[in-house]
A = this chain, B = another copy of it.
Amino acid sequence: MSVNKETGQPKFRRRADDRPDEVLDAAMELFTAQGFANTKVEQIARLAGLSKGAVYLYFPSKQAIIEALVRRAVTPVAERAMAHARAFAGDPRLGISATLRQLAHGLVDAKMLAIPKMVVREAAQVPELAQMYRREVLDRVLPAIAMLIQRGIDDGYFRPVDADLTLRSLIGPILVHLMLADVFDITPPEGLAFDRLIENHLSILFDGLSVSGKAGAR
């Protein structure tokens, strides 16, 4: 075993195919915590357990790291979300509910949340990030959800509302909830309470959307 007796650490580690992933993991952690501009390549390297120079064996530039980061995270997310959105053939409210819960629980994981946070934060500097995220995630997931809403209307579950706008009513609260907690440290007394939020939100929303007549809004 080629291990340094003093430190117990091998000096080199060779042919590690998962080095790039380790670099990305380290970069995500640091970018999330400090932002892209404030993270030094050396920090990423140290956290990934290699030297500054070695990072450049795997990525041609610092910007390439953040792009690879988003690219890596983006595809599986879209896949899973759309699987949910398509899975429900009957009452579309069940599909909406499941999709929303899955989305919310996914985002509670700091690892998952980190990517969209980073994309939003660095969008002005690295527009490719926003474009990629839009193309790979939003342009697939949002229409899928809008279609669920539309089916709800077509099948007589919902009033005839604008599905695209209603989509925003559907997902917006999740975003605010997360942002208040994450950025401003504002949560319900007992913690994040994501389940209660969704419960409350959907009960209002589905009621508000139901066809059984009621006094108009405003």
Task: Bin the interface of chain A by size.
Answer: 35 or more
Q: Is the CB of A38 within 8 A of B125?
A: yes
Give the oligomeric copy count.
4
> Is A42 an interface residue when CB atoms closer than 8 A count as contact?
no
Contacts of A197-218 to chain B: CB distance below 8 A:
197, 200-210, 212, 214-218
| A150-182 contacts to B (CB < 8 Å) | 161-162, 164-166, 168-169, 171-177, 179-180
Contacts of A166 in B (CB 8 A): 200-201, 204
Pick from B138, B180, B200: contact of A186, CB under 8 Å = B138
A124 touches B35 (CB 8 A): yes
* A110, chain B: closest CB distance, angstroms: 13
Q: In the bound complex, what is the Cα–Cα distance between A208 and B180 (angstroms)?
A: 24
B204 near A215 with CB under 8 A, answer no
